[in-house]
Amino acid sequence: MGWYRRTIQLDAADSGKSILLDIDGAMSYAMVWLNGRFVGGWPYGYASFRLDLTLYTRPGNNQLAIRLDNAVDSSRFYPGAGIYRNVWLIKVSPQHVAYEGTYITLRQSSNQSAALDFVTIIEDLSTDSNAAEIEVSTDIHVWDAASRKAAAKVGQFPTAKISLSGGAKHTVNTTTTLQNPRLWGPRPSQEPNLYVAITKLQSGGRTLDEYHTWFGVRTVQYTGDGLRINGQRVYLQGVNQHHDLGSLGAAFNVRAAERQLEMLQDMGCNAVRTSHNPPSRELLDIADELGMLIMDEVTPPPIPPLFPTVGTDVSQDLRYMEQPKAPR
């Protein structure tokens, strides 16, 4: 059982913003408090999740506490323990792109053009009953993996205008055609070309949010003679790979994970099954850039323990924490 605590400083510039906590991976049965109030949690240690801290914040210092309990014999393989992936504090306008709120689908593709469908989910976490007028625009850029920056603009989705009031969500569906697309394919026979869609929300001349969505253009077909990617037959030569980094442990390390995939490619691998749970988002990004196929596996989460009611002060309740440690 482990506790993590951190003081979060909120100043005048944060007034009116939504304060969100993104946890990419915490092993396991994560429970989160802010200023002694239970905010929420998630039992499954491999899945990312988001919590809205706004209601429990106050100007100045705020005490964040995260409790984790990785039970003995909880797994037949090494799961690690504690916070082993990134945790992000997000300060953003209440009107913003929702958590994992974009999705790109390839409807048709050739060397001449690619028809793309783009779904964007916009949410308003404010309590304002007056509708805000929001303009949603998305540009498509070539992604330069070497510099990790957006390069030349090569397309855009049609701009949409929506009205959104507090507590509501709105889904924007747009379509565009990308001319002469650079295709994504697995190495060594193909190249892993990537794009990034940059979505901006604007209202009254002010930018509310900017959200980046990385993607590749490729077709996948299962035919009588096997798997074809972009029309080219590809043999899957892969491995089952757990999330830990061997003797380095379970805490995610970008360079170590990149080196691991590079070594697999040197051995002739072009595919990885993430046994037996969702990997970190960084691993998926590295695989995209290196040209590795991924089977992103999901295992059903365990039955959650009895959590306290969201918003209650449980700092003296022995069912949820051991004494004398408390989350304050």
| Bond before 324 cis per omega within 30 degrees | yes
pLDDT at 303: 47
pLDDT of 311 over the 90 cut: no
pLDDT at 321: 44
Residue 314 lies inside a defined structural domain of this protein: no
Task: Among 74, 92, 110, identify where a domain stops.
Answer: 92
Contact 57, 19 (CB under 8 A): yes
Q: Does one domain contain both 191 and 248?
A: no
Domain of residue 143: give its range: 95-215
**Three-state DSSP state, 256:** helix
pLDDT at 322: 43
Task: Name the band, by pLDDT with cuts 50, 70 and 90, for residue 325.
Answer: very low
Q: Kindly state the average pLDDT of the residues 156-163.
A: 96
**How far is residue 74's CA from residue 70's CA, in Å, rounded to a whole number?**
7
Structure tokens at 295: 């089977």
Determine which of 4-8, 102-106, 107-111 has the lowest per-residue pLDDT on average.
107-111
Contact 308, 275 (CB under 8 A): no
pLDDT in tens, 54-73: 999 999 999 999 999 988 88
pLDDT of 305 over the 70 cut: no
* Sheet containing 2-10: order of strands: 2-10, 60-68, 30-34, 37-42
Percent of the chain clearing pLDDT 90 (strictly above): 78
Task: Among 215, 245, 272, identify where a domain stops.
Answer: 215
When the pLDDT of each residue in the chain is averaged and rounded to a whole number, the result is 90
The verdict on pTM exceeding 0.85 is yes
Q: How many domains does the chain have?
A: 3
The domain that holds 18 is classified in CATH as: 2.60.120.260
pLDDT at 323: 36
pLDDT of 126 over the 70 cut: yes
pLDDT at 268: 95
Structure tokens at 119: 């779904």
**How far is residue 275's CA from residue 9's CA, in Å, rounded to a whole number?**
39
Q: Does one domain contain both 204 and 113?
A: yes
pLDDT of 227 over the 80 cut: yes
pLDDT of 317 over the 90 cut: no
Q: Does one domain contain both 76 and 116?
A: no
**Three-state DSSP state, 274:** coil
pLDDT of 124 over the 90 cut: yes
The domain that holds 199 is classified in CATH as: 2.60.40.10
Question: Quick one: CA torsion of 314, 316, 320, 326, rounded to 10 degrees?
Answer: 100
Q: Partners of 176 in the beta sheet? A: 116
Helix axes 281-290, 254-266, angle to 10 degrees: 40
169-179 and 149-164 as β-strands: parallel, antiparallel, unpaired? Answer: unpaired
Closest CA to 121 of 170, 64, 191: 170
Q: Does one domain contain both 76 and 99?
A: no
pLDDT at 194: 97
